Structure 1
Amino acid sequence: MYTLVPASVYLGFCASILWVGQGTYLTSTARSHAIDNNFHEGAVIGDFNGEFWGVYTLHQFIGNLITFALLSDGQEGSTNGTTLLFVVFLSVMTFGAILTCFLHKRGDYSKGGYKHLDAGTGQSKSLKSLCRSLTGALSDVKMLLIIPLIAYSGLQHAFVWAEFTKYVVTPEIGVSGVGIAMAVYGAFDGICSLVAGRLTFGLTSITSIVSFGAFVQAVVLILLLLDFSMSSGFIGTLYILFLAALLGIGDGVLMTQLNALLGMLFKHDMEGAFAQLKIWQSATIAMVFFLAPYISFQAVIMVMLTLLCLSFCSFLWLALKVGNASSPSTS
């Protein structure tokens, strides 16, 4: 615990910087790319997010296939396997860090045209202005309406990683099946991210795609709540993999559409918007891991269904509010 807790705090701190930077850079790059090539801004933001999250979810597919191979060979806990896995992780991380050195600055487009981003712009921001940017987003009604859906996206992440694998996958197909089930989850997550990104062009398309994703998530939760199951054996295994695929589809929809939506609605304060995304996702993920041992699996599903309904209604209210305002950035 003396090393695990400080390491977790350190990793969480670093991850917050990486994810806010990722969302801000990806959106600003998509916007300037659309301007350079006279493309539809919403469509480009959707494409960029779809491609990013599609590639990102490959870690679930490839990583879990490796896990499945190790467990099925009876090598769980093997020192040699763990060392090799850490070497692979370290190599990928190093390669990714090197690639970031080739990222180039993008121009800031305004009514007067392009403005070169000065190297000292980010450094000149005081801590007070950064805090104001973070809290300022909470005063925006649009952000308040998006937060419930953001919170649900974090909740379903923790549910898949912890509760679904523990109470659904393991009892039916064993510990070795966790890897293959999560690989299916990752594969459909990536495919859906790419497809959803291609279909995104504005608030109307985002509303339709999120509605589909919410429906898919609701179907899985209702099946689990009713304790619906297939016969054991091959059919039972296919049913579990089918549920994993549906959960992957739902996650692919939420991640691509939430990032695209924030990029479209908060173009003047992207740092604050994406910071709110990670704050609420991380908060609900932590909440599940802290509280899950003290409540039943059925109670967790009930909480998720309730939050899904509330967050979807809040999102529809946002869609109507912004649609009525006829914002050019989301049309």
Structure 2
Amino acid sequence: MSPEGKTLLNIIILGLGFMVIFTAFGTCGNIEQTVIKSFNSTEFHGSGYTSMAIIYAVFSASNLIAPSVIAVIGPQLSLFFSGLVYSGYIAVFIHPYTSSFYTLSVLLGIAAAVLWTAQGNLLTINSKDSTIGRNSGIFWALMQFSLFFGNLYIFFAWRGKSHITDKDRQTVFITLTVISLVGNFLFFLIQRPDPEPAPSDASESLLPADISDSNSVVPSQSLCSQAFEAFKKSIQLAMTKEMLLLSIPFAYSGLELTFYSGVYGTCLGAMTQFGDDAKGLIGLSGILIGVGEILGGGVFGILDKCNRFGRNPVVFLGLFTHIVAFYLIFLNIASDAPVAPEEGTQMQAFIQPSVTVALICSFLLGLGDSCFNTQLISIVGFLFREDSASAFAVFKFVQSITAAVAFFYSNYFLLHWQLLIMVLTGFLGTITFFVVEWGVISSRRDSDYDSI
């Protein structure tokens, strides 16, 4: 197999592994607040929103040490062991206890930081400047197929049900746990990419111990040094002009991640005006979010037709798409839907609630999210190729801390306040992304001029 074919296969395997794991975890996150509301037990007093807030808060802090973990054990083992923690968190819902629920929330926050930093590292190692946009789109589109399968099952299994029984819950979460375990083993199929012909490659220092020369032995002192250097590099990168500007779109991606992955599905399930199909709509909404994500990843990544125009048009499309979705949600969904009790909300929306409008908004949320994330992954991988693990750690640090804040305030804020926060942050984040991308375009022009 050619070097180009091998790296492309690695990207596909990486995307498939994430697709399988997040088929399980994404479905879990989408339904857990609804499941918890239906769980009758004096032994359990947890909140899905609070759990997610804990996960993303720990996730944020753990991003500072994630590059050190990857420098020591390599991205493949980092992906595998992190994936096991995801499986453990899902398994908790088979028979929930408050203590185990929140303990796994903390552990998952640590695992998520390692998982996503390793993903960014492997994506960059297997990409060139000319393929980073394409590979980002391929990975994103493959991963977002995860929104189809689990949510499709939820739609058919829970359709017409106003209450989720213990048997319903256990069947779903046993299945999701097994699926997530299968995904963990796919990461061992990733091969070491062929070395570049250039005499030195800065990204070579990031090659993992488990896919580099298996006969090499790294002294413990060297491992400690690598871990410390990776941590120091993350702090230094966070203070650069580009990272400070990109931190606002990073933050926006965390806010809207919270909304589409946890809050919006809960809102649909709480709308009594949708009748007995309200709970089933959670799954259908997740599917349409996935359609939007895959379409965005395909158009802006796989086809890679927008490179000649830069990344700014795609990000602007993402902002426009989200603002349209937020406005329609504001009109269509009752304000107290995010915090309504199990029996649902009795408040009226500004228009007669429409299932069609609600599902169109699901698609728009997914499409807008893919616009932002494919371009953020692409620009981070392009600007910080030599320090990809540290750069993606900073990305996930900012994204996850804002997601934690958003999951926390989702326990208390009415819908219109949550939408307003996202609109303001998204508008400001788009402007700062434009500034960074203009700098990239300017530097390319200068480089082309110098080469004449």
Which interval holds the TM-score relative to the shorter structure? 0.7 to 0.9
Give TM-score scaled by structure 1 length.
0.85
CA distance in 1, matches of 2:197, 2:248: 31
Equivalence for 2:424: 306
Q: List per-residue Cα deviations over 1:55-114 (Å, max 9, x = no partner).
A: 211221211111112211649544444444334333333322222222222355474267
Matches within 5 A, 1:1-331: 1-31=98-128, 41-42=129-130, 44-72=131-159, 74=161, 77-107=164-194, 109=196, 111-112=198-199, 117=207, 118-119=212-213, 123=223, 125-167=225-267, 170-171=270-271, 172-173=273-274, 174-200=278-304, 202=307, 204-225=309-330, 231-232=352-353, 236-326=354-444
Query: Is the Cα–Cα contact under 8 Å of residues 246 and 432 in structure 2 kept in the other structure?
Result: yes
Q: Is the 8 A contact 2:123 2:136 kept in 1?
A: yes
Q: Given the superposition, is the C-alpha separation of residues 323 and 287 from structure 1 closer, same or farther in structure 2, using an over 3 Å criterion? A: same
In structure 2, give the amino acid aligned to 1:295: F
Structure 1: tracts of 5 or more residues without a match: 32-40
Task: After superposition, give the CA deviation of every residue in 1:163-197 in whole Å (9 maximum; x if it has no partner).
Answer: 32334564253222121112111122122212221
Between the aligned partners of 1:279 and 1:126, the Cα distance in structure 2 is 20
Q: CA offsets per residue over residues 20-78 of structure 1, 9 Å max, x none?
A: 111110221122xxxxxxxxx33x22222212211211221211111112211649544
Which one-letter code corresponds to 1:105 in the other structure? R
Find the counterpart in structure 2 of residue 36 from structure 1. Answer: none
1:175 partner SS: helix
- What SS class does the counterpart of residue 385 from structure 2 fall into? coil
Q: 1:327 to 1:101 in 2, by over 3 A?
A: farther
CA contact (8 A) 2:138 2:301 kept: yes
Contact 1:51 1:197 in 2 (8 A): yes
SS in 2 for 1:244: helix
Change (3 A) 1:298 1:63: same
Q: Percent identity?
A: 23
Classify the secondary structure of the residue corresponding to 1:101: helix
**Conserved 8 A contact 2:268-2:282:** no
CA contact (8 A) 1:53 1:193 kept: yes
Which structure has more RCO (C-alpha within 8 Å, separation ≥ 6)? Answer: 1
Q: 1:253 is paired with a residue of what secondary structure?
A: helix
- Are the aligned partners of 2:381 and 2:388 in contact in 1 as well (CA < 8 Å)? yes
What is the SS of the residue equivalent to 2:310? helix
Give the counterpart letter for 1:222 in structure 2: Y
Q: CA deviation at 1:308?
A: 0.8
Q: Is the 8 A contact 1:169 1:181 kept in 2?
A: no
Preserved contact between residue 310 and residue 437 of structure 2 (Cα < 8 Å): no
CA–CA distance in 2 between the matches of 1:176 and 1:16? 32
Looking at structure 2, the residues matched to 98 and 75 of structure 1 have their Cα atoms a distance apart, in angstroms, of 37
Q: Deviations over 1:235-264 (max 9, x none)?
A: x21111111111110111122111111111
- CA RMSD, 1 decimal: 2.9
DSSP 3-state at the match of 1:106? coil
Instruction: Describe the shift of the 1:87–1:329 C-alpha distance in structure 2 as closer, same or farther (beyond 3 A).
Output: farther
Q: Is the 8 A contact 1:133 1:271 kept in 2?
A: no
Larger deviation: 317-326 or 113-122? 113-122
C-alpha separation between the residues in 1 aligned to 2:268 and 2:199? Answer: 57
* Paired letter, 2:396: K
Which is worse superposed, 85-94 or 47-56?
85-94
Q: Number of residues paired by the alignment?
A: 318
Is the alpha carbon distance of 1:209 and 1:329 closer, same or farther for their aligned partners in structure 2, counting shifts above 3 Å? farther
Cα pair distance change 1:62/1:271, threshold 3 Å? same
Letter in 2 for 1:166: T
Aligned residues of 1:182 and 1:244 also touching (Cα < 8 A): yes
Seen in structure 2, the aligned counterparts of structure 1 residues 70 and 239 have a Cα distance that, compared at 3 Å, is same
Tell me the secondary structure at the aligned position of residue 326 of structure 1: helix
